Structure 1
């Protein structure tokens, strides 16, 4: 007899049993997104890759909780790049991947967030292709979206914005491919900046000079999705000063625009960490 009670959801073991995992062939490189830090946001394909790898080459922003999922005995090599600190050269990292692939290894190149969102995954994939090395991309949850979600800031809503700009916070005025801050400042489209904490004063100044209202809400999210996550909200004309006063440190995301104002309504009721 039907009781009207829905059956319980399948257990992880039952769900996993119907998911076909790709074959990890020797001599191939998997560019794997580790997500923003919370191990619960790691995909099943990423987890299976870590279990099948013969070596893992990982970036600076991969959280310790994710690294703990690598089985004991699998070698790990650090290849993190952090602004302003001594870092491996990209050419050396790519050469290492190629050498390991030619040696017949199963290599996981583990990157924070998504490999193809400000993660140099595209560069590495192009280098591997030029060297005749087969690769697979395992997308990850990018911090620019997950960090906002955990902070109670929707990336888009029908009432606020039909578009969103994801951008790097590195200032490169002399780079022909750099951002035109005048265009971003004149627009009301919300902006999410990666790697922009050190350049925040200059970015805010450029946006204000280009026409963004001083009272535009802005937010800093540090250590996104982790138990140590912090969120600071202030108007655009004060966000840099308040961030400095609070002593916030990288890694951090910066959100600027109408979506930030929604946090006041959502965050008090949101279950996160």
Structure 2
């Protein structure tokens, strides 16, 4: 067993904040898989694929802290307290989180709680939903011809209208919005009010990297209607920018011809 692997302890345990990736179990990192297979205690999100949880040893204790909009198994403060309590009792804890722990995963809050209590904590990064979902959709978030900047924002923030998104989307830029389905109409109004063209291409990626993944496209002005008409459900990402447009096959063929000449 490596020095980084969970171990039985008679002293203060350790907390690993582990990214489980965007959904597809094959995107779990080798280090994350090793920690899951060796863990005796796993505190996991609801979006972690069952196939990943199935890697756990038979005697592992699994605790779900699944969160859905307006309905949480545990509040964040309770999750923080659970991690600290278990570690102070001498148990090592794998905190398994969808995507990457530090990209809208509240990993920062959990790390702060552990450090404040004197609990050792380590982060194992994961493939984020934005990176994994865009890759699965063959949608480059940056592209030499169309986008040299990419921004990630949370769409469910309170006071959405007061958020300063000016300059985050537009020509040469890609904007990825997490947790924005319920506020898609407000997001559309805000971006247009901030100067973005209503015709800017938009894509919604539902169930990124999973077998049921869907990629839906529309102009920005039609985003809310797209979400409603296709009954899009979480988890889903909203990607705004020229990189989301359907590729022009004639242009691709012309580029390929230039390369071969």
TM-score when scaled to structure 1?
0.84
* Separation in 1, partners of 2:169, 2:150: 13
Instruction: Find 1:237's aligned residue among 192, 198, 221.
Output: 221
Report deviation, 1:152: 1.5
1:47 and 2:33 matched: yes
The secondary structure found in structure 2 opposite 1:123 is helix
Q: Which residue is 2:254 aligned to?
A: none
* Separation in 2, partners of 1:52, 1:207: 46
The change in CA–CA distance for 1:263 and 1:223 in structure 2 (over 3 A counts) is farther
Q: Deviations over 1:163-202 (max 9, x none)?
A: 1011111142279xx7313443677521001111111111
* Separation in 2, partners of 1:155, 1:187: 13
In the alignment of these two chains, the number of paired residues is 245
Report deviation, 1:59: 0.8
Report deviation, 1:261: 1.5
Instruction: Find 1:164's aligned residue among 147, 150, 158.
Output: 150
* Separation in 2, partners of 1:247, 1:174: 23
Q: Which residue is 1:137 aligned to?
A: 123
Report deviation, 1:54: 1.2
* Separation in 1, partners of 2:178, 2:166: 19
Report deviation, 1:71: 2.1
Q: Deviations over 1:196-239 (max 9, x none)?
A: 11111110111012111111110000110000101100100012
* Structural mapping, 1:215-254, within 5 Å: 215-254=199-238
The change in CA–CA distance for 1:196 and 1:262 in structure 2 (over 3 A counts) is same
1:85 and 2:71 matched: yes
Q: Which residue is 1:122 aligned to?
A: 108
Contact 2:208/2:214 (<8 A) preserved: yes
Q: Which residue is 1:16 aligned to?
A: none
Report deviation, 1:264: 5.9
Instruction: Find 1:34's aligned residue among 20, 27, 35.
Output: 20
* Structural mapping, 1:248-263, within 5 Å: 248-261=232-245, 263=247
The runs of 5 or more residues in structure 1 that have no matched partner are: 1-18, 266-273
Q: Once superposed, what is the RMSD of the aligned Cα atoms?
A: 2.0
Contact 2:40/2:59 (<8 A) preserved: no
- Stretches of 4+ aligned residues off by more than 6 angstroms: none
* Separation in 2, partners of 1:63, 1:226: 9
1:205 and 2:189 matched: yes
Q: Deviations over 1:23-66 (max 9, x none)?
A: 43431111000000101100011011111211100012212222
* Separation in 1, partners of 2:78, 2:226: 39
Q: Which residue is 1:24 aligned to?
A: 6
